[in-house]
């Protein structure tokens, strides 16, 4: 490095105009050094390099316009405003100001030439610019810039203008020292873009740069940085994994006799895969560092049983176990399963969900605190501060794709605070029925060990899946009637594009009453997210008990619900859902020994991609094959669940868009050319705003 310190070591106060006070404000943007500022990348760009003819303006476009004032009038619409008519040689346009002074109004004298910048919107008077920046064109008009203008993420106390001028200063220092951390020959040839050049380009793209390409993140400068950013995230997860193994956990050797009693009471024996996975878990639990294991297994593979066996191990070693489920319905189902299995063995089970009545909640909390309940089932309400465990040493998280990395860390911290002793961390078992393709798993869950239940319990009937057009709804209703006549039960799942529980509930209600009208003698019930928990429970119980023939539901039944006599599932508008979710839904049937059917009642017209996805679902019954297909058709967002991806905030990279870079990322991460020091610097450079990833 020529001449002194690198920019990673140069404090932001080295820039002109940045004192301690302003440095604190910048700290809120996680900018402490000049390098941090350079990695604070624009969200988007404005093109002020060229004047746009009025005729070429379209709504939503940000543009520089120059024209002559034709009129300036105060108008009284819903709100008083100043309306200025501007004309160039291609057309006219209105500027609208809601706040203005008399002096401002007088500036807009007829015939004056104005240059303005703003976003075009459709207004009462045709295209309008609301509160544009304006400037009178004359002798002192500022030059138009020759680069695109960056728009940065801001915080209170920092303006765009100020940030831009700081970045200009930082760019001038660029040559002296942003360290190229990636070994050039590790980069694919298309991405050998020098780091300094990439930063320069992204902060100040030249006039004429392809804004569309940049908005899509496809410019090589962006891809080069995206690769580095993904690598930094990957390394931080590897670091996280390494730090787990440095933390102490209570070894739980367990006692096989409890397990033997338990297995002896089961009406079936474990599958080979369940046995193998149980052994992997048991070996982890004996260690004095926390288990961090992801258990993947297709819908119906029998994960709950594996969880119960893990819990038994831990409890026989005297520890307390928490089981966390993503929904109340599922928590309730787990409570019931675990009570049924464990109470005969004399083990107390408590339940903590958000909907418990105050008195009941107190009772359950007391049981947890005293240790009278050795197993606690709940929803994320288990995180709450008033829950204190006696000696929590194993945390089991079901359907992980519904929870994010942050919650995973939170529960771990909670365990450490309440656990066996303040300094010990509980073991964690994370279960998911969403099979995660290997590349993605290696990146998104690089901090976990993986076990896979790759075998279904014997005697499962394959689910026969058919796709039928919504125009033939009548025939589908006949099928429901037929199934009910044979004493089978069925689900009818309503989907909506909007993620609104209220709208979903309404749609399901409408469908339920339509079906009730059309289907004679079929006992119909309705379950959706807006029902009170005890109401939900009542409906689910009635369905389980066979008192309801057809359950009309929203996708709340997606995860985990287990009713073996239900052998027919209708999914309305399946094209609205992701493949993984559909596969989960479909897994609600085919759980007993009766042949099961899933009818995909699609809306027309069906897009080509929609058709391909339904086809994939009909062809494959294996969740992994479906997940691979999903990755190909929809990208990783679907597979990891939106919450998961939503929470990993990248600056340049987009896990979905840039999934093709992941194999490179893994290759580079494994390369010997990345020294300890380089790893540390990469993580610091990209993740300084997420210390919990790096430190946890
Ligand atoms: P998932 O992996 O989807 O959570 P569950 O744990 O709910 O699956 O199991 C699905 C069903 O299979 C349950 O009814 C469970 O009792 C049953 N089951 C689990 N393991 C076996 C087995 N080894 N043999 C037969 N049935 C099993
Ligand atoms: Mg399950």
Q: Which tens digit of pLDDT belongs to each residue from 2-55?
A: 445 788 889 999 999 999 999 999 998 889 999 999 999 998 898 899 999 999
What is residue 12's predicted lDDT score, i.e. its pLDDT?
A: 94
Residue 646 pLDDT exceeds 70 = no
Question: Using CA positions, which residue lies closest to atom 17 of ligand 1?
Answer: 302
DSSP state, residue 31: -
Expressed in angstroms and rounded, the spacing between residue 300 Cα and the centre of ligand 1 is: 5
Residue among 417, 315, 304, 310 at smallest CA distance from 372: 315
Question: Using CA positions, which residue lies closest to atom 25 of ligand 1?
Answer: 457
Segment 432-457 shows an average pLDDT of: 76
Choice from 266, 302, 565 to test ligand 1 binding pocket (greatest atom count within 8 A of CB): 302
Q: Within a 10 A sphere around the Cβ of 92, how many other Cβ atoms?
A: 17
State which of 395-409, 597-611, 639-653 shows the largest mean pLDDT: 597-611
DSSP state, residue 468: E
Task: Using the 3D structure, point to which of 408, 435, 453 is the last residue of a domain.
Answer: 453
3-state secondary structure 144-159: CCCECEEECCCCCCCC
Q: Which ligand lies nearest to the CA atom of residue 299 in the structure?
A: 1
- Tokens 């003698």 correspond to what residue? 521
Residue among 308, 422, 305, 322 at smallest CA distance from 364: 322
What is residue 174's predicted lDDT score, i.e. its pLDDT?
A: 86
Choice from 273, 274, 304 to test ligand 1 binding pocket (greatest atom count within 8 A of CB): 304
Q: Is the dihedral of CA 362, 366, 368, 369 positive or negative?
A: positive
Examine residue 639 and state whether it is found in any structural domain, yes or no.
Answer: no
Examine residue 221 and state whether it is found in any structural domain, yes or no.
Answer: no
Residue 636 pLDDT exceeds 60 = no
What is residue 170's predicted lDDT score, i.e. its pLDDT?
A: 94
Question: Using CA positions, which residue lies closest to atom 15 of ligand 1?
Answer: 302
Q: Which of 431-440, 562-571, 587-596 has the lowest mean pLDDT?
A: 431-440
Contact 398, 385 (CB under 8 A): no
CA atoms within 13 A on the CB side of 262: 27
Residue 207 pLDDT exceeds 70 = yes
Query: In whole angstroms, what is the distance from residue 566 CA to residue 91 CA?
Result: 66
Choice from 267, 295, 303, 305 to test ligand 1 binding pocket (greatest atom count within 8 A of CB): 305
Residue among 206, 57, 74, 48 at smallest CA distance from 135: 48
Phi/psi of residue 256, each to 5°?
-70, -10
Examine residue 90 and state whether it is found in any structural domain, yes or no.
Answer: yes
What is residue 401's predicted lDDT score, i.e. its pLDDT?
A: 59
- Domain span at residue 395 reads 256-453
Residue 153 pLDDT exceeds 80 = yes
User: Do both 134 and 193 map to the same domain?
Assistant: no
Expressed in angstroms and rounded, the spacing between residue 558 Cα and the centre of ligand 2 is: 10
What is residue 163's predicted lDDT score, i.e. its pLDDT?
A: 94
Q: Which ligand lies nearest to the CA atom of residue 398 in the structure?
A: 2
Q: Which ligand lies nearest to the CA atom of residue 263 in the structure?
A: 1
Contact 314, 427 (CB under 8 A): yes
The pTM score is: 0.66
Query: In whole angstroms, what is the distance from residue 343 CA to residue 354 CA?
Result: 24
Number of residues that make up the chain: 696
User: Do both 427 and 541 map to the same domain?
Assistant: no
Query: In whole angstroms, what is the distance from residue 445 CA to residue 11 CA?
Result: 34
Query: In whole angstroms, what is the distance from residue 389 CA to residue 474 CA?
Result: 54
CA-303 nearest atom, ligand 1: 2
Examine residue 660 and state whether it is found in any structural domain, yes or no.
Answer: no
Question: Using CA positions, which residue lies closest to atom 18 of ligand 1?
Answer: 302
User: Do both 441 and 343 map to the same domain?
Assistant: yes
Please, what's the b/e burial string for 657-681 (b: 16 or more CB within 10 A of its CB; e: otherwise)?
Answer: bbbebbebbbebbeeeebeeeebeb
What is residue 657's predicted lDDT score, i.e. its pLDDT?
A: 77
Examine residue 676 and state whether it is found in any structural domain, yes or no.
Answer: no
Please, what's the b/e burial string for 170-202 (b: 16 or more CB within 10 A of its CB; e: otherwise)?
Answer: bbebbebbbeebbeeebbeeebebebbebbbbb
Residue among 454, 603, 556, 624 at smallest CA distance from 614: 603
Q: Which ligand lies nearest to the CA atom of residue 308 in the structure?
A: 1
User: Do both 421 and 484 map to the same domain?
Assistant: no
Expressed in angstroms and rounded, the spacing between residue 322 Cα and the centre of ligand 1 is: 20
Q: Which of 76-80, 85-89, 535-539, 585-589 has the lowest mean pLDDT?
A: 76-80
CA-297 nearest atom, ligand 1: 2
Contact 404, 623 (CB under 8 A): no
pLDDT digits (tens, 9 = 90+) for 556-589: 775 557 788 999 999 999 988 878 778 888 988 8
Residue 431 pLDDT exceeds 70 = yes
Q: Which residues surround ligand 2, an ion (CB under 5 A)?
A: 560
Phi/psi of residue 467, each to 5°?
-110, 130
User: Do both 511 and 555 map to the same domain?
Assistant: yes
Query: In whole angstroms, what is the distance from residue 283 CA to residue 345 CA?
Result: 23
- Tokens 């930094």 correspond to what residue? 232
Expressed in angstroms and rounded, the spacing between residue 334 Cα and the centre of ligand 2 is: 9
Q: At what angle do helices 303-316 and 328-342 cross, to 10 degrees?
A: 60
Expressed in angstroms and rounded, the spacing between residue 433 Cα and the centre of ligand 1 is: 12
What is residue 692's predicted lDDT score, i.e. its pLDDT?
A: 37
Q: Which of 40-44, 88-92, 253-257, 645-649 has the lowest mean pLDDT?
A: 645-649
Task: Using the 3D structure, point to which of 110, 144, 178 is the last residue of a domain.
Answer: 144
Number of domains making up the chain:
4
CA-274 nearest atom, ligand 1: 23
Examine residue 663 and state whether it is found in any structural domain, yes or no.
Answer: no
User: Do both 60 and 78 map to the same domain?
Assistant: yes
Q: Which ligand lies nearest to the CA atom of residue 266 in the structure?
A: 1
Expressed in angstroms and rounded, the spacing between residue 614 Cα and the centre of ligand 1 is: 26
Residue 461 pLDDT exceeds 80 = no
Examine residue 633 and state whether it is found in any structural domain, yes or no.
Answer: no
Query: In whole angstroms, what is the distance from residue 128 CA to residue 132 CA?
Result: 10
- Cβ partners under 8 Å of residue 463, min gap 6: 586, 589, 590, 596, 597, 598, 621
User: Do both 448 and 492 map to the same domain?
Assistant: no
Q: Which of 173-177, 241-245, 295-299 has the lowest mean pLDDT?
A: 241-245
pLDDT digits (tens, 9 = 90+) for 319-340: 999 999 887 878 888 998 999 9
- Tokens 């009635």 correspond to what residue? 542
Phi/psi of residue 301, each to 5°?
-75, -15
Segment 427-435 shows an average pLDDT of: 83
Residue 469 pLDDT exceeds 50 = yes
Segment 89-108 shows an average pLDDT of: 90
Strand, coil or helix: 391: coil
Task: Provide residues with CB under 6 Å of ligand 1.
Answer: 268, 270-271, 274, 297, 299-305, 433, 457, 560, 562, 591
User: Do both 438 and 532 map to the same domain?
Assistant: no
Question: Using CA positions, which residue lies closest to atom 16 of ligand 1?
Answer: 302
CA-304 nearest atom, ligand 1: 6
User: Do both 62 and 34 map to the same domain?
Assistant: no
CATH number of the domain to which 129 belongs:
2.40.50.140
Residue 225 pLDDT exceeds 90 = yes
Phi/psi of residue 586, each to 5°?
-60, -30
Expressed in angstroms and rounded, the spacing between residue 534 Cα and the centre of ligand 1 is: 25
What is residue 478's predicted lDDT score, i.e. its pLDDT?
A: 93
Q: Which ligand lies nearest to the CA atom of residue 587 in the structure?
A: 1
Residue 291 pLDDT exceeds 80 = yes
Examine residue 409 and state whether it is found in any structural domain, yes or no.
Answer: yes
Expressed in angstroms and rounded, the spacing between residue 409 Cα and the centre of ligand 1 is: 28
Contact 400, 430 (CB under 8 A): yes
Residue 452 pLDDT exceeds 50 = yes
Residue 1 pLDDT exceeds 60 = no
Task: Please state, rounded to an integer, the average pLDDT across all residues of the chain.
Answer: 85
User: Do both 342 and 295 map to the same domain?
Assistant: yes
Q: Which ligand lies nearest to the CA atom of residue 304 in the structure?
A: 1
Expressed in angstroms and rounded, the spacing between residue 560 Cα and the centre of ligand 2 is: 4
State which of 413-417, 581-585, 643-647 shows the largest mean pLDDT: 581-585
Share above pLDDT 70 across residues of the chain, in percent, rounded to a whole number: 88
Residue among 151, 156, 149 at smallest CA distance from 29: 156
List own/partner pairs for 268-274 with CB under 8 A and 24 or more apart. 268/457, 270/302, 270/305, 271/302, 271/453, 271/455, 271/456, 271/457, 271/458, 272/455, 273/297, 273/301, 273/452, 273/453, 273/454, 273/455, 274/302, 274/305, 274/306, 274/453, 274/455
Expressed in angstroms and rounded, the spacing between residue 264 Cα and the centre of ligand 1 is: 16
Expressed in angstroms and rounded, the spacing between residue 457 Cα and the centre of ligand 1 is: 7
DSSP string, 484-512: HHTT-EEEEE---SS--HHHHHHHHHHHH
Query: In whole angstroms, what is the distance from residue 654 CA to residue 217 CA?
Result: 8
Query: In whole angstroms, what is the distance from residue 349 CA to residue 364 CA?
Result: 9
User: Do both 494 and 571 map to the same domain?
Assistant: yes
Query: In whole angstroms, what is the distance from residue 392 CA to residue 410 CA?
Result: 14
DSSP state, residue 585: H
Question: Using CA positions, which residue lies closest to atom 24 of ligand 1?
Answer: 457
Segment 436-457 shows an average pLDDT of: 76
Q: Which of 127-136, 508-517, 524-533, 655-664 has the lowest mean pLDDT?
A: 655-664
Is 152 or 144 the better-scoring residue by pLDDT?
Answer: 152
Query: In whole angstroms, what is the distance from residue 7 CA to residue 169 CA?
Result: 12
Task: Using the 3D structure, point to which of 216, 235, 270 is the last residue of a domain.
Answer: 216
Cβ burial of 424 (10 Å; 0-12, 13-18, 19+) is: buried
Choice from 307, 457, 563, 624 to test ligand 1 binding pocket (greatest atom count within 8 A of CB): 457
User: Do both 138 and 159 map to the same domain?
Assistant: no
What is residue 113's predicted lDDT score, i.e. its pLDDT?
A: 93
CATH number of the domain to which 370 belongs:
3.40.50.300
Residue 497 pLDDT exceeds 70 = no
């Amino acid at each position: 490095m020529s001449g002194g310190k690198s920019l990673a070591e140069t404090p932001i106060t080295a820039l002109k105009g940045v004192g301690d006070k302003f440095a604190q404000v910048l700290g809120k943007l996680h900018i402490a050094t000049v390098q941090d500022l350079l990695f604070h990348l624009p969200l988007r760009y404005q093109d002020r390099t060229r004047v746009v003819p009025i005729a070429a303006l379209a709504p939503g476009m940000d543009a520089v316009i120059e024209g002559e004032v034709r009129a300036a009038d105060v108008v009284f619409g819903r709100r008083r405003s100043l309306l200025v008519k501007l004309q160039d040689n291609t057309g006219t346009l209105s500027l609208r100001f809601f706040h203005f002074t008399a002096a401002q109004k007088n500036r807009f004298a007829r015939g004056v030439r104005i240059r303005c910048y703003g976003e075009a919107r459709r207004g009462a008077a045709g295209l309008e610019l609301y509160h544009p920046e304006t400037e009178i064109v004359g002798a002192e008009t500022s030059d138009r810039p020759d680069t695109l203008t960056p728009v940065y993420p801001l915080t209170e106390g920092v303006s765009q203008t100020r940030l831009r001028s700081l970045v200009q200063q930082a760019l001038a220092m660029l040559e002296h020292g942003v360290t190229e951390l990636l070994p050039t020959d590790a980069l694919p040839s298309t991405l050998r873009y020098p780091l300094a050049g990439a930063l320069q380009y992204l902060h100040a793209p030249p006039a004429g740069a392809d804004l569309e390409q940049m908005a899509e993140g496809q410019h090589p400068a962006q891809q080069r940085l995206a690769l580095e950013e993904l690598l930094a995230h990957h390394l931080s997860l590897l670091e996280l994994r390494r730090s787990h193994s440095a933390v102490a956990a209570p070894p739980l050797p367990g006692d096989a006799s409890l397990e033997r009693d338990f297995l002896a009471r089961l009406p079936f024996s474990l599958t080979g895969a369940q046995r193998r996975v149980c052994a992997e878990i048991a070996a982890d639990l004996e260690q004095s560092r926390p288990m961090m294991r992801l258990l993947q297994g297709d819908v119906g593979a029998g994960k709950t049983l594996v969880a119960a066996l893990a819990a038994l191990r831990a409890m026989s070693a005297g520890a307390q176990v928490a089981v966390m489920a993503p929904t109340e319905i599922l928590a309730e189902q787990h409570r019931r399963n675990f009570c049924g299995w464990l109470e005969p063995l004399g083990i107390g089970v408590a339940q903590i969900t958000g909907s418990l009545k105050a008195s009941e909640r107190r009772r359950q909390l007391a049981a947890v605190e005293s240790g009278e309940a050795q197993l606690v089932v709940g929803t994320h309400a288990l995180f709450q501060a008033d829950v204190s465990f006696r000696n929590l040493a194993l945390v089991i998280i079901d359907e992980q794709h519904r929870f994010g990395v942050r919650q995973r860390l939170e529960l771990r911290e909670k365990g450490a605070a309440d656990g066996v002793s303040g300094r010990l961390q509980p073991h964690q078992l994370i279960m998911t029925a969403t099979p995660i393709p290997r590349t993605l798993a290696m990146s998104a869950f690089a901090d976990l060990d993986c076990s896979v239940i790759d075998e279904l319990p014997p005697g499962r009937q394959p689910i026969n899946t058919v796709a039928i057009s919504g125009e033939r709804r009548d025939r589908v209703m006949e099928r429901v009637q037929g199934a009910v006549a044979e004493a089978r039960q069925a689900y009818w799942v309503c989907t909506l594009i909007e993620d609104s529980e209220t709208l979903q509930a309404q749609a399901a209600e409408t469908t339920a009453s339509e079906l009730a009208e059309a289907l004679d003698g079929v006992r119909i019930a309705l379950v959706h997210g807006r029902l009170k928990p005890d109401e939900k429970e009542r409906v689910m119980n009635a369905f389980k008990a066979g008192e309801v023939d057809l359950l009309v539901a929203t996708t709340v039944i997606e995860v985990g619900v287990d009713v073996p006599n239900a052998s027919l599932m209708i999914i309305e508008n399946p094209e609205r859902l992701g493949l993984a979710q559909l596969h989960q839904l479909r897994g609600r049937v085919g759980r007993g020994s009766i042949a099961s059917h899933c009818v995909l009642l699609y809306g027309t017209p069906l897009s080509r991609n929609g058709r391909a996805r339904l086809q994939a679902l009909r062809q494959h019954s294996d969740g992994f094959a479906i997940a691979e297909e999903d990755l190909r058709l929809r990208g990783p967002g679907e597979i990891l669940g939106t919450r998961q991806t939503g929470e990993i905030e990248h600056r340049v990279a987009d896990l979905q868009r840039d999934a093709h870079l992941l194999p490179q990322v893994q290759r580079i991460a494994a390369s010997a050319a990345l020294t300890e020091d380089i790893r540390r610097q990469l993580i610091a450079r990209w993740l300084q705003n997420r210390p919990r990833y790096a430190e946890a």
